[in-house]
Amino acid sequence: MTREECAALLAYAGRIDPRAALLDPAETAGQLATWCELLRDVPATAPGGWDAAAAVRRHVECSPYPVLPVDITRPWAAHRRELLARHTDPRPAVDPDDVAAYQDAIRAQRNAVATGQAAPSGSRQLTGGPHPTVAARIAGRALPADAAEALAPYRPARAARQAAAAAGRPDALSVPCGWCRAPVGEQCRRRTNATPDRPGTWTRRRTPHPTRTDDAAARPARQEHAA
Ligand SMILES: [Zn+2]
């Protein structure tokens, strides 16, 4: 804060809190010098809604004691920490091979945020799915047949489901497995290396448990029976 800003802040404090107002001119000059010294690194306003006058007002509202410079420096330190936490060091427009210049640029960005001269620059985030033009292009598009065929060895469960559908057999994954308790849509599993005091490791089975296939085959009949 400049000397003028400090004087304005002191005048504001004196106006809203009569206890802070000093009538002796010599004392006022001394108080202004103290405030200028202590609030040198605190900006009057800064990105993120920082306002030194608001900090003074909050103190007068909440505290039974007259306002002191620390009642402004402490909230500013918290606000500054929050600004820096939101800053993510975006890539500066400097040749990255020039290490010294690059580091200087990063430091200058951080310093600008820490002193309230620049707003913190956060990472961009996805806000809601793909861009409409991209969504329109991929909407309803299935994997090309040759690509699906090439991927089949790496997706045995899906390949088995497709083969079952093509052959008119029931889809075992449409029901949970009563044997290994695999939920709907997940492959059956088996446990390996299990001992009484060790749970072992779950491994996916390529083929469903026979009871599950039977359950899937029996399901439409049960539904018909229920209807
Ligand atoms: Zn199973």
Does any domain span residue 174? yes
pLDDT in the model for residue 48: 86
d(CA 22, CA 30): 10
Tell me if residue 202 falls in helix, strand or coil. Answer: strand
d(CA 175, CA 222): 13
Does any domain span residue 107? no
Does any domain span residue 209? yes
Does any domain span residue 52? yes
Does any domain span residue 91? no
pLDDT tens for the chain, 227 residues: list them.
999 999 999 999 988 887 777 667 778 888 899 999 999 999 999 888 899 999 999 999 998 888 899 999 999 999 999 999 988 888 888 888 999 999 999 999 999 999 888 888 877 766 677 777 777 777 776 777 788 788 888 887 788 888 888 888 888 888 999 998 899 888 898 888 778 887 778 888 888 899 998 998 887 655 444 44
| 151-166 exposure pattern, b = at least 16 Cβ within 10 A, e = fewer | eeeeeebebbbeebee
Does any domain span residue 196? no
Cβ count within 10 A of residue 46: 21
Give yes or no for a contact between 172 and 213, defined as CB atoms under 8 angstroms apart.
Answer: yes
**Cα(151) to centroid(ligand 1), Å:** 24
**What is the pTM for the complete model shown?**
0.52
**Cα(147) to centroid(ligand 1), Å:** 29
pLDDT in the model for residue 7: 92
Structural domains in the chain (count): 2
Task: Return the amino acid letter for 14.
Answer: G
pLDDT in the model for residue 224: 47
Cβ count within 10 A of residue 75: 18
Cβ count within 10 A of residue 19: 12
**Cα(169) to centroid(ligand 1), Å:** 17
Does any domain span residue 112? no
Does any domain span residue 69? yes
**Cα(119) to centroid(ligand 1), Å:** 56
DSSP string, 48-108: TTEEHHHHHHHHHHH-SS---THHHHHHHHHHHHHHHHH---PPPSS-TT-HHHHHHHHHH
**Cα(217) to centroid(ligand 1), Å:** 15
Q: Point out the domain boundary residue: 86, 104, 119.
A: 86
Tell me if residue 210 falls in helix, strand or coil. Answer: helix
**Cα(207) to centroid(ligand 1), Å:** 9
Question: Could you say which DSSP state residue 116 is in?
Answer: T
Q: What is the separation, in whole angstroms, between the first and last Cα of the chain?
A: 79
Containing domain of residue 182, as a range? 145-190+202-226
Angle at 178 between CA 175 and CA 181, to 5 degrees: 85
